[in-house]
């Protein structure tokens, strides 16, 4: 015979349920990004990574007896400072996320039948933890801010925002102060680096080349007359463009950002020239057209049918192999007859033909890379590693 669940047990079950709910992370991230434009400009994956770490530490603190670990909070604050997120935007997102957690906890507590006084005590404990969490986030932010202010970082941020975004608040620095000349040409650099140490290393590498780098709209960006050689070793993603005059820097920066997002979708890391990412960048710039192509050419395929995934996977490999049956079979470790059968079945379902022209190949390749359409906020399925 099971004993009745105590009030403490019911609360522990609720906390465990929240801690194991991946959707909670997405709800909190969504609330923070909706409330704070400064946070919304950050890569969503970075926001999600930090929120997941902070929630995990919070739930561990709620159920543990020792001193909570506020290290993730301090690192979170330091990274936001490193990427130039204003403290007001940081706090706005923090308050929104905190409110969302409280709302969800109350809703689920009521649904679980937890007594009001038990929920009240739990919410007070959660609120006290939230206050301490905020203090450590701001502390990490201020510490990083003091360190960064030693090398005229605000001046570099203002200069790049004017050169790359066209924003001018009247205080922007003369480009010549950092060695940029009106008649010179400069490579544009964009990175998703968020770790303070990595950001600093990239900034210093650009400075040694006579350029300037700083956070711009939530991403590290820079202009440099020459690229570091050899490229800096980094697990972050860095995209560079060929050298352009300063008046063309805004267009180069916009292209670099598009290429960065396209490369991130391919899970790339390290340094990449935008020229090498031309195909991915051009396709990523037209997501609506990708959807139209996928539905038009592959509408007969069922995303819930695993065999249809095999057909699409094989066809994509076939196009990547230059429409060579032998190379496709070798790449997929399949018998050529299996490849031939899958291609024939796909042809029967969709009309994919043989000996495609260059433009036909692009259309089918793009459609296959975009199928099936991913849920909102998620990357498409990666057919090829």
- Please indicate whether residue 299 or residue 171 has the higher confidence score (pLDDT): 299
Q: What is the per-residue pLDDT across 171-219, written as a single tens digit (0 to 9) for each?
A: 556 787 778 888 899 999 999 888 878 888 898 899 889 899 998 888 9
pLDDT recorded at residue 65: 63
Q: Nearest 5°: CA angle at 113, between 109 and 116?
A: 70
State the Cα–Cα distance between residues 308 and 303, nearest whole angstrom: 7
Length of the chain measured in residues: 385
Average pLDDT over residues 130-145: 84
Q: What is the per-residue pLDDT across 150-166, written as a single tens digit (0 to 9) for each?
A: 557 778 888 898 999 98
CATH 1.10.10.60 holds for 287-369: no
State the Cα–Cα distance between residues 90 and 97, nearest whole angstrom: 11
Is the whole model's pTM more than 0.75, yes or no?
no
Nearest partner of 228 among 258, 208, 255, 212, judged by Cα: 208
The CATH T-level fold of domain 181-276 is: Alpha-Beta Plaits (3.30.70)
Tell me the two tokens of residue 186: 């400069």
Cβ proximity of 187 and 240 under 8 Å: yes
pLDDT recorded at residue 191: 94
């Amino acid at each position: 015979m099971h004993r009745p669940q105590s009030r403490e047990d019911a609360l522990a079950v609720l906390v465990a349920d929240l801690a194991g709910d991946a959707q909670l992370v997405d709800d909190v991230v969504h609330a923070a990004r909706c409330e704070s434009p400064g946070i919304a400009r950050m890569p969503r994956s970075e926001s999600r990574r930090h929120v997941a770490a902070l929630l995990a530490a919070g739930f561990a603190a709620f159920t543990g007896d020792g001193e909570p670990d506020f290290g993730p909070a301090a690192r979170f604050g330091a990274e936001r400072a490193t990427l130039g997120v204003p403290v007001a935007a940081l706090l706005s997102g923090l308050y929104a996320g905190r409110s969302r957690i409280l709302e969800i906890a109350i809703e689920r507590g009521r649904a679980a039948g937890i007594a009001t006084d038990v929920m009240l005590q739990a919410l007070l404990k959660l609120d006290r933890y939230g206050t301490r969490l905020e203090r450590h986030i701001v502390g990490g932010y201020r510490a990083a801010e003091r360190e960064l202010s030693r090398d005229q970082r605000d001046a570099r941020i203002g200069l790049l925002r004017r050169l790359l975004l066209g924003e001018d608040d009247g205080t922007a620095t003369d480009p010549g102060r950092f060695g940029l000349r009106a008649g010179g040409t400069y490579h544009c650099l964009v990175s998703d680096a968020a770790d303070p140490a990595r950001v600093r290393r990239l900034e210093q590498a650009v400075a040694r080349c006579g350029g300037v780098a700083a956070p711009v709209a939530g991403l590290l960006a820079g202009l440099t007359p020459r690229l570091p050689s050899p490229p800096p070793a980094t697990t972050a993603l860095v995209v560079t463009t060929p050298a352009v005059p300063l008046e063309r820097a805004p267009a180069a920066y916009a292209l670099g950002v598009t290429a960065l997002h396209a490369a991130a979708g391919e899970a790339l890391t390290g340094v990449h020239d935008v020229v090498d990412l031309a195909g991915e960048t051009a396709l990523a710039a037209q997501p609506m057209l990708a959807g139209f192509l996928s539905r038009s050419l592959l509408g007969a395929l069922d995303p819930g049918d695993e065999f249809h995934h095999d057909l699409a996977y094989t066809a994509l490999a076939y196009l990547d192999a230059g429409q060579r049956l032998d190379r496709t079979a070798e790449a997929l470790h399949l018998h050529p007859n299996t490849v031939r059968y899958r291609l024939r079945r796909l042809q029967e379902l969709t009309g994919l033909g043989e000996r495609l022209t260059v433009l036909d190949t692009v259309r089918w390749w793009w459609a296959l890379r975009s199928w099936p359409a991913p849920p909102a906020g998620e990357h498409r399925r990666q057919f090829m590693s």
